Amino acid sequence: MREIFKGKTTFKDRDSYYVLNAAAFETLQSRWRETVPPGFTVHRVQTDDVFTTTGVSAFDKLTSWKSFEQFLKDGFAYYVEEDATHKIVSGCITKFCTSTGCELAVGTHEQYRRRGFATLVACATAEEALKKGLTTIWECYHRNVASIKTNQKVGFEYLCDEYFYFGFLYESLQNDLFSGYYYLTELHNPEEAVFWFKRAIALSEKENNPLSSSYNFYAASAFAIMREYDLALERLSAAVEIVQDKREFYNKLQTEKAFDDLRESLAFKKVLHRLEV
């Protein structure tokens, strides 16, 4: 690894692992079927056309199986379908499955998040795993708050962390953005984060590929900490244009300490006003 990444920046990071507690599942989710909202249905995957669904990241995990036939024989998955449109809005799949254990992957279409669908498909999949007597694992990035909250609702408990090292061999927008994010949130080095975010922004403009609302938020945080307020406000304005959940974003801006020095400014108040619903 030292030779491969010689002269390149490398990072140390970690994923967190959780294991399903059967008693906790029974206490928390024994009646999960009663919480399926009208207009939606939970199905068990039976045909491979489900995996052509776009926007549900969990179903990308079929690639961890040699074939759909092998998956159907040894694994299982569930999805939520919108009855009126037949659109698959959320899914949960066993990334692998042995005679003693399995690991789950969950994903929900962006337009349908924060409505409990991930919890529903996780419950359906976890329930089958428990009936089969499988030790059920959930793995996610240690800062993936949404994933952690979902697994805890289902009855998963923290097991351990797995550390890994990584680096980037070439410049790309996503590599630069993640470097900025990592320096800001993990290494607590906003000065270095600003360097990477500025590089990413220049590349995004060159490629005509706008930053996501979340990366705009992190970039704005780094700029604000380094007192580059105009750039911070520029990123916040860009985020407001595309953010899906305006209320959640409004609350994040109200509580993020990085913006304390901006909070009383007219420009910042205008950003908040655009988020009011």
Give pLDDT, residue 18. 98
pLDDT at 262 over 70: yes
Q: Kindly report which listed range (56-65, 122-131, 196-205) carries the lowest average pLDDT score.
A: 56-65
Question: Is the Cβ–Cβ distance between 107 and 58 less than 8 Å?
Answer: yes
Instruction: Summarize pLDDT for 60-97 with one digit per residue, the tens.
Output: 878 889 999 999 999 999 999 999 999 999 999 999 99
Least confident of 4-8, 91-95, 124-128, 154-158: 4-8
Q: Which of 98, 132, 164 is the last residue of a domain?
A: 164
* pLDDT at residue number 164: 87
- Under the banding of pLDDT at 50, 70 and 90, the label for residue 227 is very high
Tokens representing 139? 């793995």
Give the CATH number, domain containing residue 186. Answer: 1.25.40
What confidence score (pLDDT) does residue 236 get?
A: 97
Q: Give the dihedral of Cα atoms 151, 152, 158, 164; nearest 10 deg.
A: 40
Asked which of 136, 164, 192 is the last residue of a domain, the reply is: 164
Same domain, 194 and 247: yes
Whether 12 has a pLDDT exceeding 90, the answer reads: no
Predicted pLDDT of residue 170 = 75
For residue 53, what pLDDT is reported?
81
> Cβ-count burial of 107 within 10 angstroms (0-12 exposed, 13-18 middle, 19+ buried)?
buried
Overall number of domains in the chain: 2
Residue 103: strand pairing partners: 96, 137
Q: Where are the alpha helices (DSSP H) in 164-228?
A: 173-185, 190-207, 213-225
pLDDT over 70 percentage in the chain? 97
Establish if 22 belongs to a structural domain. Answer: yes
pLDDT at 237: 97
Do residues 182 and 106 share a domain? Answer: no
Give φ, ψ of 227 to 5 degrees. 65, 25
Q: Write out pLDDT tens, residues 31-68.
A: 999 999 999 999 999 999 999 888 898 888 788 899 99
Same domain, 43 and 154: yes
**The whole model's pTM is what?**
0.75
> 22 and 75 share a domain?
yes
pLDDT band at 277 (very low <50, low <70, confident <90, very high): low
Residue 144 lies inside a defined structural domain of this protein: yes
User: 129 and 40 in one domain?
Assistant: yes
The per-residue pLDDT of the chain, averaged, comes to: 94
**Domain-ending residue, one of 115, 133, 164:** 164
Rounded Cα distance, 138 and 27, in Å = 19
* 6: in domain: no
3-state secondary structure of 92: strand
CATH number at residue 91: 3.40.630.30
Q: Could you tell me if residue 177 is inside a domain?
A: yes
- The pair of three-digit structure tokens given for residue 94, joined into one six-digit string: 């066993």
Question: What is the Cα–Cα distance from 243 to 276, expressed in whole angstroms?
Answer: 13
Do 135 and 210 belong to one domain? no
Return the structure tokens found at 164.
Answer: 């890994």
In a domain, 5, yes or no: no
In terms of residue numbers, what domain contains 67? Answer: 11-164
DSSP secondary-structure letter at 188? Answer: -
Q: Which residues pair with 135 in a beta bridge?
A: 101
Which residues, in sequence order, are CB contacts of 107 under 8 Å at separation 6+? 56, 57, 58, 59, 60, 90, 91, 92, 118
* 154 lies in the same domain as 179: no
pLDDT at position 1 over 70: no
210 and 249 within one domain: yes
Question: Cβ atoms within 10 A of the Cβ of 172, count?
Answer: 13
Q: Are residues 140 and 90 in the same domain?
A: yes
Do 188 and 240 reside in the same domain of the chain? Answer: yes
Asked whether residue 2 is domain-assigned, the answer is no
CA-closest candidate to residue 116, choices 77, 89, 143? 89
Confidence of residue 110 (pLDDT cuts 50, 70, 90): confident
**Residue labelled with tokens 């089969």:** 132
Domain annotation covers residue 3:
no
Residues 44 and 181 both lie in one domain: no
Alpha-carbon span 183 to 84, nearest angstrom: 45
Same domain, 38 and 125: yes
